[in-house]
Amino acid sequence: MPALELVEAPALDAAGQMGLDEAVLTLHSGLLARLRFYRWQRSAVTFGYSQAFALARELARSRGLAGAELVRRATGGGVVFHDGDLTFSVVFAWERLSAPSLVYKDIHRGVHLGLKQAGVFTRVWSRAKPSAAPVSPQAACFGGPPEPMDLVREDGVKVLGGALRRRGGKGLYQGSLRVDALAAPLSTVRRAIAEGLGRKFRLAPERGLAADWLSHGRRLSEKYRSARWNRRR
């Protein structure tokens, strides 16, 4: 069974978080998976790889986050407001090309089981969209009805959405969990996620990221800070 290593990193802004995730994706090798909980310096907004900057800015304004840092992710998906969510990433071996829905199912089921163990009840949304529904991502991650493989509360309210990038046989998952929608303390939820994902992987002890990985992340964060990256669409 491959191991899941919980890695610790300093508090960062959004460009720093994105740069560090890309650094881990780039430097990662082998079957080990790495789970990192973000520590935010301040509220921020991230948006999907192919989304328009103007749309993300508009949605940030309507959320009351007009002055927040606005950063394009390397992963797909919609606009995410990091204003009280629990954001985490998982980097893992994704050698054989497989459907993204299977990855979401694995990760979200792991989180579901971890939360259940902690007494927090959720379910993985399995209802498919009507076949006539357009195939297009939602503008905002939490802006519409749940999509298949989202994690929802028992009453159907979405609590966890994720986005993926596949590069060179490796995958990066970035997830946003609305802790405010769950009646559980942050520390409980955090532990539940690690233990839930640890059911698929063998949970290894937490450790800090190596200094060279952090410095590679800092270098990559400059891309995520640039207008060329964020405003290219």
In the list 72, 82, 153, 165, the residue contacting another protein (rule: CB under 8 A) is: 165
The answer to whether residue 136 forms part of the interface with another protein (CB under 8 A) is: yes
In the list 29, 50, 62, 126, the residue contacting another protein (rule: CB under 8 A) is: 50
Tell me, residue by residue from 171 to 210, as one string, x for binding to another protein by CB under 8 A and - for no binding.
----------------------------------------
In the list 135, 205, 211, 227, the residue contacting another protein (rule: CB under 8 A) is: 135
In the list 1, 30, 99, 132, the residue contacting another protein (rule: CB under 8 A) is: 99
The answer to whether residue 49 forms part of the interface with another protein (CB under 8 A) is: yes
Nearest approach in angstroms of CB 145 to another protein is 14
In the set 14, 103, 120, 141, the catalytic residue is 141
Do residues 63 and 84 make contact, with C-beta atoms less than 8 angstroms apart?
no
Cβ nearer to another protein, comparing 67 with 168? 168
Nearest approach in angstroms of CB 55 to another protein is 13
DSSP string, the chain: --EEEEEE---B-HHHHHHHHHHHHHH--SS-EEEEE--BSS-EEEE-TTS-HHHHHHHHHHTT-TTSEEEE-SS-S-BEEESS-EEEEEEEE--S---HHHHHHHHHHHHHHHHHHTT--EEE--PPPPTTS-----SBTTSSS--TT-EEETTS-EEEEEEEEEETTEEEEEEEE-GGGSSS-HHHHHHHHHHHHTTTSEEEEEEEPPHHHHHHHHHHHHHHHSHHHHT--
The answer to whether residue 225 forms part of the interface with another protein (CB under 8 A) is: no
The amino acid occupying position 150 is D
In the list 105, 116, 123, 166, the residue contacting another protein (rule: CB under 8 A) is: 166
CA-CA distance, 123 to 226, in Å (whole number)?
A: 38
Please report the sign of the dihedral spanned by the C-alpha atoms of residue 179, residue 158, residue 45, residue 173: positive
Respond yes or no: is residue 196 known to be catalytic: no
Tell me, residue by residue from 68 to 97, as one string, x for binding to another protein by CB under 8 A and - for no binding.
------xxxxx----------------xxx
Cβ nearer to another protein, comparing 135 with 227? 135
Binding site for another protein (CB under 8 A): 48-50, 74-78, 95-101, 103-104, 135-137, 147, 161-168
Which residues form the catalytic set? 141
